[in-house]
Structure 1
Amino acid sequence: MKDFKTLFVFFVLVCSGSAYAAKVTQVKNKKVMISLDGTSASNGSEFFVLNASGKKVAIVRVTQVKGGKAIADITKGTAQAGYSLQAKGGGGGSSSSSSSGSGDSYYDRKLNNRANTGNSFGLVGGYLMNSMTATFPGGPQGATYKVNASMSGSGFGALGYYDYAMSPRFSLRGMGGLEQYNVAGSIATADCNLTTSCSVNLTYLSLYGYGRFNVTTSGNKFWLGGGYGYLYAMSKASNVLKADQITANQIFVLAAGMDFRLSAKTFIPVSLEYGLYPTSDSVKATIMYLRAGYAWNL
């Protein structure tokens, strides 16, 4: 009788071990890598994830099976490396674990290639190439003729941004920081505060909102976008424009960029952008931005 009880306990332990043979080996971005250890699985198979106490803490759905391992999406709950799996039922089918593969590196690539499709934040520096054409009255003792001043210059900027992913293809970007708008030029008559040298020097508190479309969604990501900016002058100096013309401005922006991936979590964002101020009868202005920085995936 004692030997029978011992065999029964051994049988239960063996069965339990085989029931939870599959386990989570890695978790990244709402995906898990699974070591199947002989457990049958195929695309669409669902498993409960059990913690060390045997409590069900998550549900995962298999998306790829290769070389005795699998990648699955976490559809509910949270998972950690080392947690075991139990078949949810209704999934499974024949195992495709006999397919050839190259081990963990294959799955690392698959997981990492999806790492850049979520939310991110970063810091960027900018080089601004500015241009402005201003028309204003000139001449002694009143408006006797019109003066056209064509000016150009450059400035720098430092901003932070946050990208919120609506989908792998489309995201919304909020960005803010400080930027310089400096232009200067010469005219034939002394109508810029009694000189022929005209200038506008502004430091903006810049706030931008963009929509961004990812042309590619893995590896180095190429994107196109556009948006709107609100520019508030923190400091201002001009012998061309009136004070009420430079207190605050709006700007429309078109952009193209590339995110050069360094790792699953980090990348270098680079973009070329064109900004156009709303035109008026007296001022037309544009900015060409070149931005680069360092960013992190969340």
Structure 2
Amino acid sequence: MVDAFKRRKIVNNIVLIFSTFAAIFGILWLIWILGTLIYKGGSTLSWEVFVGNPPAPGDNTGGLKHAIIGQFLIVSIAVVIGVPIGILAGTFLSEYGKNSRLANIVRDISDILMSVPSIVIGTFVYAILVEPFGHFMGISGSVALAIMMLPIIVRTTDDMLNMVPGELREAAYALGATKSKVITSVVYKGAITGIITGVILAVARIGGETAPLLFTSFNNNFLTYNVFQPMASLTVTMYDYAMSPYQYWQKLAWAAAIILTFGVLALNLIGRAIAKWKFKK
């Protein structure tokens, strides 16, 4: 009996040691990446990076205003397209479809879309929006990002609505509320924090995508607000500047990398904070 106890304790300590080393190994890589970004990009960050026009080849002045505004427009339109559709689809699965065959098929498709490489979605949107119109467009990049958002929002909304106690629905029905009223006034209120968390995580997911934008919005060396023309984004601009032979452009690529990284990190932290706050309540 004592030998068995000692053996379990030894095995437990070995697993604990390996788990600790694995965690430290992963954290060290994260610290290394963030440290490199801060070291390389932090020295380049300045007010001019945010408000300056794109630099000319060989010029040592300029900024990323065109890319920052383009990124904001593309992601914002993607949110406007993807969030309502995703929430409504998740509502259908939870409140109407439930365990029907159609609902299960939609859930399976959502799970598959989560694992589809982003470049595949980019080529799909290229085939249906870019090629027929004959040129790249910022709006096509938004559509590609919206498609990437959908499975995350759909599954999050479905799960959060299913966590709302059925007794709340029954109480609302007993008071004479219609199904639509129950959903909007009772179910959504009980799951709103989880839904918002899912939306924030979905936005963080698409915020750093490059591949789908290469096939859809492409890039633009000038500032434009026309989403039906090629539009710059931070991700694609960072890629182009990093591959350029100009040293200042390479520095701007590091600045774009640090802006994207900490922007996505902030969104993830906000999403986790909201989820943790809801759990404490």
Superposed pair shares fold, TM > 0.5 = no
State TM-score, norm by structure 2. 0.21
Structure showing greater Rg: 1
Greater RCO, 1 or 2 (C-alpha within 8 Å, sep 6+): 2
State TM-score, norm by structure 1. 0.21
1 or 2, which has the higher helix percentage? Answer: 2
1 or 2, which has the higher strand percentage? Answer: 1
